[in-house]
A = this chain, B = another copy of it.
Amino acid sequence: MSVQARIVDGPLDPQAPEASPGSGAVLRFEGVVRPVEPQGPGGAPRELAALHYETYDPMAERSLAALATEMLARHRVHAIRVLHSRGRVSAGAISFTLEVRAAHRAEAIAALTEFIDRMKRDVPIWKRPVWR
């Protein structure tokens, strides 16, 4: 069982998952900055140059770790690794990765889904669009 949570300056690298010989299921989510977003809720689509992520440190990283630990226990998964960007991330680049290892896919999917929902609600990270 292991948890890793880290806030990283700038975009994340696409990474091959590490070997995990004991886990039957490895599920990895990557959040990519979309090149077009609605301007405001229900607004017209507009081209985006980047997103700028503001984090409340060190609470953001601690919250990610606490959430990972909670999901690990609740869904009985083996390991959770989460990285989130701080600062500017250009459109097309990765700002968030979440990797879950579990015995079976059902637990991995449940843990990943709940993690992301909870993160958006509880982890102090704010994004600001940088329009083109």
Q: Which residues of A are in contact with B by a Cβ distance under 8 Å?
A: 14-17, 19-35, 91-92, 103, 105, 108-109, 112-113, 116
Cα separation A132 to B90 with both chains bound (whole Å): 50
Q: Are B103 and A113 in contact (CB under 8 A)?
A: no
Partner pick for A27 among B21, B23, B29, CB 8 A cutoff: B29
Name the residue on B nearest A117 (C-beta): B105
Given pairs A24-B34, A25-B30, 7 additional interface contacts (CB within 8 A): A21-B92, A22-B34, A22-B92, A25-B32, A26-B30, A27-B30, A29-B105
Q: How many copies does the complex hold?
A: 2
- Which 8 A-B residue pairings sit nearest by Cβ, starting from the closest? A21-B92, A26-B30, A24-B34, A14-B16, A28-B28, A16-B16, A27-B29, A24-B32
Q: Are B113 and A109 in contact (CB under 8 A)?
A: yes
Name the residue on B nearest A95 (C-beta): B24
Q: Are A26 and B32 in contact (CB under 8 A)?
A: yes
Q: For the complex formed, measure the closest distance between the CB of A112 and the CB atoms of chain B, giving whole angstroms.
A: 7
